[in-house]
Structure 1
Amino acid sequence: MHTVTLIPGDGIGPEITEAAVQVVEAAGAPIQWDRQLAGMSAVDRHDTPLPDATLDSFRRNRAALKAPLTTPVGGGYRSVNVTLRQEFDLYANVRPALSFEGTQTRYGNVNLVTVRENTEGLYAGIEHYIKAEGKTIAAESIAVVTRSGCERIIEHAFRYARQTGRKKVTAVHKANILKCTSGLFLEIGREVAQKYPEIEFEDRIVDACAMQMAMHPDQFDVIVTTNLFGDILSDLAAGLVGGLGLVAGANIGREAAMFEPVHGSAPDIAGKNIANPTAMIIATVMMLDHLGEQAAARRIEQAVREVIREGKHVTADLKPGSICSTPEMAEAIAEKVRLAG
């Protein structure tokens, strides 16, 4: 039995969390949930977005499934996602983007993975205002890029490629302009690549990479990059396969791992039970793989793909005009999981 910290999150989070729990239970996976709060729901109850009980639970279980959390824009508390990644040194953010048969996109052959450095760069949170005569005249942010941080994320990308049978790693940077930070990342990428001669290595400048991803995504396999670039490119990759509602991510450290959908909390549709639960369910697939429960993971993944391909029980973002609810789509997936069990 695996005990996993479960954070239902904000907005649509509780709805898609219940959908994911239902599907995992249908698979018979040996999971015991330790429910905890974070984000706005935690502020309302505990006056803090990240209670000690939640941190203690994650520290104890070393595995978490987290729904989207609301982060105030331009003020308020710091991102709980960033805090968790740094608190538990979840240095590798792994976001696969795979095409789903039955979705309305212009691409049918996308199969790429973004491996994003998760604790450094411009998201290190080192920033301040510069004031003069009582006014803010500038704001500065410091991008922290360390040798050790670069080495471990690039090593992670190559190990992932080797373990999953992928053939190429692309290091994405802006070393033509950011000669120190991106320059160091590129330098270390070239060094690490020499230890994996069976895997092709290339590098791309980030803006050119974005254009090529939109034009010819089939040329990419594993992309490894720094924090901000990875955040942007992984969302672009999600757009190629049908949107954020279909993509999940893993946050991996040496001692702990957290799994989540990559979309936001969507407060505008919260409580309506119309949110697409796919990303949250795919997050459980990644979690089960991490915990060594591959058989359950494959049954769930196959069931999700069958339901989306058939298009009978999918939410309106996947099939315009559909009146299928979140619980109805979850039940359709759970039923296929049970039949395959």
Structure 2
Amino acid sequence: MLQYSIAVIPGDGIGPEVMDEGLKVLTAVEEAHGGIRFTREIMDWNCQYYLTNGRMMPENGLDILKDHDLILLGAIGAPEVPDHVSVWELILPIRRSFSQYVNLRPVKLLKGLESPLRYKSHADLDFVVVRENTEGEYSNMGGRMHQGTPYEMAVQNNVFTRYGTERILRYAYALAEKRPTKSVTAATKSNGINHSMPFWDEIVKEISLEHPDVRTNLYHIDALAAYFITRPETFEVVVASNLFGDILTDLGAAIVGGLGLAPSANINPERQYPSMFEPIHGSAPDIAGKGIANPIAQVWSLSMMMDHLDLPEISALIMNAIEQVVQEGKVLTPDLGGKATTRELGDEIVRHIYLGTR
């Protein structure tokens, strides 16, 4: 019997709603597979916790999480708490303290859906973005001076280390080695950012020499964003710095149906610490409590979790269930043109999981 412990952080807004469906899928996997068990510990760490306690998680929060094998996150953010507080006091400390330096986000058009991109098919939209997750443009270095005066200024420093850059590129190239056409596309902006990006480019070229059978393309971020729209079929593995990867993956989600369909994995490849799995959508306070949020991104993140656990059959079971429900088109939430509730869509995915094991 395989056993794993999961720290569950439902979060804010629609987070608890989509998390409920994700946990139902976990239960279905346990019952359908028979040889695996997931213990769950629910953490009430969210913006309400912050308003009550003045912090996003307990002082020993990271120590609590460290004792688990995995972390499952719903969504964080509420109008009452500034985003730089909720993100910088919960999500980013988890990513950095647990060296979750790989942010993995698939850009895949599910069967049964049409892309907003005219003439682009499912075969054209199936690649993955590897985003550096712990340094780069989101480094906590800088500050503000002379606030409230005409001389007020803000400085935000980008930090690119050789160690951090090499390891994210090596991960991307190792991933590309397993893909059909073995190609890596790296995002840069060395024509405008004259220190960090030429440094990034140099290391891309160095790591590419270690993988002579992998084709490498190095594109400026503005051109690359355009290519996401005009020729997405040319991509297999895209690797980018923290900010560029963040922007590209939201664009990637848009071209395959929206943020409600976009999962992500924050991975510590060495497995020294727990990795974290989550949808990339926000807490969507405008629809919270209405029961219409799309739970597919949360459920899809569980498929990514199974891949991380080296359980490809269970990962495929979850993905097949998602795609069958979408292809049938009978039980879909409003963002996909249907009338189903969050719970009804989750129940339908669960039903297909059981069908997939008969």
TM superposition score category, shorter chain reference: over 0.9
User: Which stretch of structure 1 is more off in the superposition, 259-268 or 23-32?
Assistant: 23-32
Please give the per-residue CA displacement for 1:297-339, whole angstroms capped at 9, x wherever unaligned: 21111000010111100101011xx320001000000001011
CA distance in 1, matches of 2:208, 2:138: 26
1:64 aligned counterpart, secondary structure: strand
Tell whether the 8 Å contact from 2:8 to 2:43 is kept in structure 1 after alignment: yes
Tell whether the 8 Å contact from 2:14 to 2:285 is kept in structure 1 after alignment: yes
1:222 aligns with 2:222: no
Identity of aligned residues (%): 34
RMSD (Å), alpha carbons:
1.8
- Over 3 Å counting, the alpha-carbon distance change for 1:158 and 1:334 in structure 2 is same
The residue that corresponds to 1:331 in the other structure is: 347
Deviation at 1:50, TM superposition (A): 2.0
CA distance in 1, matches of 2:104, 2:331: 28
- Over 3 Å counting, the alpha-carbon distance change for 1:316 and 1:269 in structure 2 is same
CA distance in 1, matches of 2:22, 2:143: 40
Deviation at 1:102, TM superposition (A): 2.0
Deviation at 1:176, TM superposition (A): 1.1
The residue that corresponds to 1:42 in the other structure is: 49
- Over 3 Å counting, the alpha-carbon distance change for 1:208 and 1:49 in structure 2 is same
- Over 3 Å counting, the alpha-carbon distance change for 1:198 and 1:315 in structure 2 is same
CA distance in 1, matches of 2:71, 2:350: 21
The residue that corresponds to 2:126 in the other structure is: 111
The residue that corresponds to 2:288 in the other structure is: 270
Please give the per-residue CA displacement for 1:143-174, whole angstroms capped at 9, x wherever unaligned: 00111111000001111222444510011110
* 1:111 aligned partner, one-letter code: D
CA distance in 2, matches of 1:8, 1:258: 13
- Over 3 Å counting, the alpha-carbon distance change for 1:161 and 1:274 in structure 2 is same
CA distance in 2, matches of 1:74, 1:261: 17
Tell whether the 8 Å contact from 2:4 to 2:69 is kept in structure 1 after alignment: no
CA distance in 2, matches of 1:60, 1:23: 23
- Over 3 Å counting, the alpha-carbon distance change for 1:45 and 1:131 in structure 2 is closer
Tell whether the 8 Å contact from 2:11 to 2:75 is kept in structure 1 after alignment: yes
1:127 aligns with 2:145: no
Which of 9, 14, 17 aligns to 1:15? It is 17
Q: Which runs of 5+ in 1 are unaligned?
A: none
User: Which stretch of structure 1 is more off in the superposition, 276-285 or 120-129?
Assistant: 120-129
1:240 aligns with 2:233: no
Tell whether the 8 Å contact from 1:172 to 1:224 is kept in structure 2 after alignment: yes
Deviation at 1:220, TM superposition (A): 1.1
The residue that corresponds to 1:27 in the other structure is: 29
Please give the per-residue CA displacement for 1:21-53, whole angstroms capped at 9, x wherever unaligned: 111211224211121132313324543202245
Deviation at 1:225, TM superposition (A): 1.0
CA distance in 1, matches of 2:137, 2:37: 39
Tell whether the 8 Å contact from 1:37 to 1:51 is kept in structure 2 after alignment: no
- Over 3 Å counting, the alpha-carbon distance change for 1:129 and 1:215 in structure 2 is same
CA distance in 2, matches of 1:64, 1:132: 39
- Over 3 Å counting, the alpha-carbon distance change for 1:304 and 1:130 in structure 2 is same
- Over 3 Å counting, the alpha-carbon distance change for 1:62 and 1:184 in structure 2 is farther
Q: Which runs of 5+ in 2 are unaligned?
A: 31-35
Q: How many residues align?
A: 339
* 4+ runs deviating over 3 angstroms: 44-47, 71-78, 132-136, 163-166
Please give the per-residue CA displacement for 1:163-188, whole angstroms capped at 9, x wherever unaligned: 44451001111011112101111100
The residue that corresponds to 1:64 in the other structure is: 71
Please give the per-residue CA displacement for 1:270-317, whole angstroms capped at 9, x wherever unaligned: 111100000000001111111223222211110000101111001010
1:55 aligns with 2:62: yes
Please give the per-residue CA displacement for 1:92-148, whole angstroms capped at 9, x wherever unaligned: 111011111222323322011111111111201212113178455221110001111
The residue that corresponds to 2:93 in the other structure is: 83
TM-score by length of structure 2 reads 0.90
CA distance in 1, matches of 2:100, 2:234: 28
Tell whether the 8 Å contact from 2:73 to 2:277 is kept in structure 1 after alignment: yes
1:273 aligned counterpart, secondary structure: coil
Which of 154, 162, 173 aligns to 2:188? It is 173
2:321 aligned counterpart, secondary structure: helix
Tell whether the 8 Å contact from 2:179 to 2:236 is kept in structure 1 after alignment: no
Deviation at 1:211, TM superposition (A): 0.7
User: Which stretch of structure 1 is more off in the superposition, 105-114 or 331-340?
Assistant: 105-114
CA distance in 1, matches of 2:86, 2:207: 37
CA distance in 1, matches of 2:112, 2:152: 51
Deviation at 1:88, TM superposition (A): 1.4
CA distance in 2, matches of 1:278, 1:263: 11
1:61 aligned counterpart, secondary structure: coil
The residue that corresponds to 1:282 in the other structure is: 300
